[in-house]
Structure 1
Amino acid sequence: MSKHFIHDNFLLENKYAEELYHNYSKNQPIIDYHNHLSPKEILDDKIYNNLTKVWINGDHYKWRAMRTLGVDEKYITGDATDKEKFMQWAKTVPYTMRNPLYHWTHLELARYFDINDLLNEKSAEKIYESTSEKLSSSQYSCRNLLRKVNAELVCTTEDPTDNLVHHKQLTTSDFEVNVSTAFRPDKAILIANEGYNDYINDLGKVADINIESYADLKDALRSRIEYFDANGCKLCDHGLNQISYESFTESEVGTIFKKKLEGHKLSKEEVLKFETAILLFLSETYHEFGWVQQFHLGALRNNNHRMHEILGPDTGWDSIGDYSQAEKLSAFLNALDSKDQLTKTIIYNLNPADNEVMATMIGNFNDGSVKGKVQFGSGWWFLDQKDGMTKQLNALSNMGLISCFIGMLTDSRSFLSFPRHEYFRRLLCNLLGDEIKRGELPKEEMEWIGKMVADISYNNAKCYFDF
């Protein structure tokens, strides 16, 4: 066995796990069906020049760790040089042991740069210089980073107001990796948010509709769904605290929307009625177009108001929320299913206390029409680590069919994040290999278990998404 920390059998604890990973999972292509990568950088085939630009900038996982260690914001999001920022990250890495960042960091150095040294203050200078030299070469351009990990599809996430110009140009380029998008209309749903009316004005301009009524809003959103669909979009995504479900009438929702446009404050009940109505409308439209809908539920965002004012959203000030999920989610899905307008759906929870809730909820609406029609999404954000992913796999196995699972995604803004698929696959194979070793799964069915691993790694997602 290699003496390197990241070696061929990293996280694989017995011969069965090794066989499953190396023979059935390792070489499967990657379908990354949800991320926040920049389509412009893919189109431009961007060259990053140094590791800070591609690895640290925008990565709020790393930022949180550095802040916890006491690193000054100057070296995180401030005006320090790229090299100074990297040196502070390198100093932080040894302190991240038992945080997934420690594993991810060394997987990414090994897979992209063939670097097996542990990153710390002593090795930082050498690693920074060698990776910067490589990243300055066209062999490490944005597209080649995706080729290096055998990516077949990457699906970015865009607002309804996006013109998709970069996606359009990518479809006529010679880049063989499929780059698609997911429709993310949260800003049109969350009517209580500051700046909502300004956003509605922007949406109206893009849709070429003067939005003066709730009917106009629905027309504008439908117009953008049609536009996204015409440009290859097959998914949508929503990042919500929880699903709203409140009884409403169309007349009530029209009045609520008008009230908002006129600058009046809405009650909590009015907000819930509106959010329920618009999300049901959107989900019915997704069903009409045959899209897959995704719901990321449970984040408590922008907790540090002082730093949010300075740095804005998505800069590392979010955490897990303890919202009630089951009752409203059930009512919402049931409202769609009762009209046979529930499209393929993926539900992600951020609170691990909701694992069994989600694992059992999907079974209520898997109606036999599509294999794995309603999915319990992979461990997300704070849960996409060894413990979180394993618990998600166990909950799904115990209460559903793990064999129908569509597997991992990065949900990342970094082009170096794709070894998370490898990390997931190794954990999956080790989980199954351990049960084979203990006699809980039959070693005589190794070929069948291997097929299941290949399906979860790649084939199920390939069949589930209509790209």
Structure 2
Amino acid sequence: MKKKFLDDNFLLNNETAVRLYHDYSKDMPIIDYHCHLSPQEIYENKRFKNLTEAWLYGDHYKWRAMRANGVEEKYVTGGDGASDYDRFLAYAKTVPMTIGNPLYHWSHLELQRFFGVYDIINEKNAPAIWEKVNAQLSGEGFAARDLIKKSNVKVIGTTDDPTDSLEYHIKIKELPDFDVRVLPSFRPDKGLEINRATFLPWIAKLGEVVGKPIANYDDLLAALESRVRFFHSVGGNVSDHALDYVAYAETTKEEAAAIFAKALQGGGVTLEEEKKYKTYTLTFLGKLYAELGWAMQFHINAHRNNNSRMFGKLGPDTGFDSINDSDLAYPLVRLLDALDKEDALPKTILYSLNPKDNYVIGSLMGSFQGGGIPGKIQLGSAWWFNDTKDGMIEQMKALANLGLLSRFIGMLTDSRSFLSYTRHEYFRRILCNLIGEWVENGEVADDIEQLGQIVQGISYNNAKEYFGY
């Protein structure tokens, strides 16, 4: 029998899955422990002038699909007189072409869950959708904080540079009618990427923030520690590192200091020197995270800013990145082991953008579990190009095969959009269906209460315990 599109049992293809989702997972709160939402927009309770602003501004997932559908760039990222309605119409024309892509599901779910609009997205329905959604956005109850509360979000982990003042995180705490915790995550990528043009300006800015020029490597380490402790005082207990490749090279503090001094003087740093600098700096930070009880995130194997012409026009994070295929096992094992040898390996979440790495990570992390912490080392949620139906299933199967799916800390949005929380629903449905299939096939005991507890753990409780929220 043909199922109705996006019905109540969407993606739930067996009786056990239906029960697990509706009775156990559906109404669990959300901990979105890694995203790119703006704390300022949350504090100021940003209102959206129309659906395009809420839906398309900054969403490079949608931008990539529009480009692939032949949409001119002015209707993708704006400019050259393209109106917001024209941009929305271009996306509405693109959505029917996205069958098989999660955008096809996400876009419909976003309209349904937030605005009660069940129209199929296409060129014919676009004018009606535009009017229905904009009418709601112009009224009360659809500003940024309203959308967060509608989604039953309890904790948001933003992504923040060490030089950030965190003023909006502090102000959000003081809001009388908003009990969602918005916590900073420490992301010091600009201080690790010693060969990028952003390095020296960032070092100068860091010196300004800590009130002392960074004249040598000791100054840098002291400044980084100062900022970690500041983030901690504001409630942060998570770091994040974009490791497009994992660097590891045996080194000493003296070597790292000499390399830093060379860079500070504008001298060129070789790849081997870069690896040594990154290794010492990252292990220094890892020890500090462990001391403070933080979780450390590694986002690995992205290949960024591939199109130099478009990078020059639009800058980073505009849809011109892809999957990297750098070697992972040896440097990652050595890096984790360097911390573990000093009993200073923090809780660590390992994401790779390359799905070939699921089994590499899933197996090596078993070498570093322990300390009485359930799931201390995590195979991170299917990320970016992998947060598709198939990508989520493969990530969970790899984790189940090699470790404990039941201790997985679950989904995150990794998004800049306040409408992305439907991705948690999408994930939960896929999770419940996967476990339901195992039950229906006789591979897992039909103990609905036990399985319900596992599902609730992966949906919310495991992250709550892992991060101490």
Q: What is the TM-score normalised by the length of structure 2?
A: 0.98
Question: Partner letter of residue 154 of structure 1?
Answer: I
- Deviation at residue 435 of structure 1 after TM alignment: 1.3
Question: Partner letter of residue 326 of structure 1?
Answer: A
Q: How big is the alpha-carbon RMSD for the aligned residues of Structure 1 and Structure 2?
A: 1.2
Matching residue within 154, 157, 161 for 2:156: 154
Kept in 2, the 8 Å contact 1:151–1:177? The answer is: yes
Kept in 2, the 8 Å contact 1:21–1:425? The answer is: yes
Matching residue within 251, 275, 278 for 1:275: 278
Kept in 2, the 8 Å contact 1:6–1:116? The answer is: no
Question: Partner letter of residue 157 of structure 2?
Answer: C
Question: Partner letter of residue 127 of structure 1?
Answer: I
Question: Partner letter of residue 424 of structure 1?
Answer: F
Kept in 2, the 8 Å contact 1:5–1:116? The answer is: no
Question: Partner letter of residue 15 of structure 2?
Answer: K
Matches within 5 A, 1:407-426: 407-426=410-429
Number of the residue aligned with 2:194 = 191
Distance 1:2 1:57, change over 3 A: farther
Q: Distance in 2 between matches of 1:258 and 1:178?
A: 40
Number of the residue aligned with 2:107 = 105
Number of the residue aligned with 1:344 = 347
Q: Distance in 2 between matches of 1:117 and 1:5?
A: 11
Number of the residue aligned with 1:212 = 215
Q: Distance in 2 between matches of 1:460 and 1:160?
A: 28
SS at match of 2:184: strand
Q: Distance in 2 between matches of 1:158 and 1:136?
A: 30
Q: Distance in 2 between matches of 1:279 and 1:368?
A: 21
Q: Distance in 2 between matches of 1:19 and 1:26?
A: 10
Q: Distance in 2 between matches of 1:363 and 1:356?
A: 11
Q: Distance in 2 between matches of 1:283 and 1:36?
A: 22
- Deviation at residue 161 of structure 1 after TM alignment: 0.6
Q: Displaced runs of 4+ in structure 1, greater than 3 A?
A: 1-4
Kept in 1, the 8 Å contact 2:117–2:132? The answer is: no
Q: Distance in 2 between matches of 1:428 and 1:337?
A: 32
Number of the residue aligned with 2:370 = 367
- Deviation at residue 370 of structure 1 after TM alignment: 0.7
- Deviation at residue 326 of structure 1 after TM alignment: 0.6
Number of the residue aligned with 1:76 = 76
Once the two structures are superposed, residues 5-51 of structure 1 have per-residue CA deviations (whole angstroms, 9 ceiling, x without a partner) of 22110000011100000011000000000000011111011110211
Kept in 2, the 8 Å contact 1:359–1:395? The answer is: yes
Once the two structures are superposed, residues 181-210 of structure 1 have per-residue CA deviations (whole angstroms, 9 ceiling, x without a partner) of 101000001101112111100011011121
- Deviation at residue 253 of structure 1 after TM alignment: 1.1
Q: Distance in 2 between matches of 1:384 and 1:268?
A: 32
Once the two structures are superposed, residues 111-164 of structure 1 have per-residue CA deviations (whole angstroms, 9 ceiling, x without a partner) of 111111110000001001110110112211111101111111111110001000
Q: Distance in 2 between matches of 1:2 and 1:460?
A: 36
Q: Distance in 2 between matches of 1:391 and 1:310?
A: 36
Is structure 2 residue 408 aligned with structure 1 residue 436?
A: no
Is structure 2 residue 43 aligned with structure 1 residue 43?
A: yes
Q: Distance in 2 between matches of 1:158 and 1:236?
A: 9
Kept in 2, the 8 Å contact 1:47–1:138? The answer is: no
Number of the residue aligned with 2:379 = 376
Greater displacement, 4-13 / 352-361: 4-13
Question: Partner letter of residue 110 of structure 1?
Answer: Q
Q: Distance in 2 between matches of 1:368 and 1:221?
A: 27
Question: Partner letter of residue 163 of structure 1?
Answer: S
Matching residue within 355, 374, 378 for 2:358: 355
Question: Partner letter of residue 215 of structure 2?
Answer: E
- Deviation at residue 3 of structure 1 after TM alignment: 7.6
Q: Distance in 2 between matches of 1:322 and 1:195?
A: 25
Q: Distance in 1 between matches of 2:120 and 2:5?
A: 8
Question: Partner letter of residue 272 of structure 1?
Answer: K
Number of the residue aligned with 1:312 = 315
Kept in 2, the 8 Å contact 1:299–1:320? The answer is: yes
- Deviation at residue 81 of structure 1 after TM alignment: 1.1
SS at match of 2:158: strand
Number of the residue aligned with 1:62 = 62
Q: Distance in 1 between matches of 2:138 and 2:149?
A: 17
Q: Distance in 1 between matches of 2:130 and 2:364?
A: 47
The sequence identity of aligned pairs, in percent, is: 51
Kept in 2, the 8 Å contact 1:287–1:342? The answer is: yes
Q: Distance in 2 between matches of 1:221 and 1:209?
A: 12
Greater displacement, 187-196 / 298-307: 187-196
Number of the residue aligned with 2:127 = 125
- Deviation at residue 297 of structure 1 after TM alignment: 0.3
Q: Distance in 1 between matches of 2:73 and 2:367?
A: 47
Q: Distance in 2 between matches of 1:152 and 1:103?
A: 24
- Deviation at residue 4 of structure 1 after TM alignment: 5.2
Q: Distance in 1 between matches of 2:54 and 2:207?
A: 35
- Deviation at residue 179 of structure 1 after TM alignment: 0.9
Kept in 2, the 8 Å contact 1:283–1:293? The answer is: yes
Q: Distance in 2 between matches of 1:293 and 1:3?
A: 42
Question: Partner letter of residue 70 of structure 1?
Answer: G
Matches within 5 A, 1:112-261: 112-174=114-176, 175-261=178-264
Q: Distance in 1 between matches of 2:391 and 2:83?
A: 35
Query: What are the ranges of 5 or more consecutive residues in structure 1 without an aligned counterpart?
Result: none
- Deviation at residue 254 of structure 1 after TM alignment: 1.1
SS at match of 2:141: helix
Kept in 2, the 8 Å contact 1:49–1:133? The answer is: no
Query: What are the ranges of 5 or more consecutive residues in structure 2 without an aligned counterpart?
Result: none
Q: Distance in 2 between matches of 1:203 and 1:177?
A: 29
Once the two structures are superposed, residues 263-302 of structure 1 have per-residue CA deviations (whole angstroms, 9 ceiling, x without a partner) of 1111111111101111111111111111111000010000
Number of the residue aligned with 2:6 = 6
Q: Distance in 2 between matches of 1:285 and 1:364?
A: 21
Q: Distance in 1 between matches of 2:264 and 2:309?
A: 29
Is structure 2 residue 385 aligned with structure 1 residue 386?
A: no
Q: Distance in 2 between matches of 1:325 and 1:102?
A: 33
SS at match of 1:139: coil
Number of the residue aligned with 1:458 = 460
Matches within 5 A, 1:273-312: 273-312=276-315
Question: Partner letter of residue 138 of structure 1?
Answer: E
Q: What is the TM-score normalised by the length of structure 1?
A: 0.98
- Deviation at residue 244 of structure 1 after TM alignment: 1.1
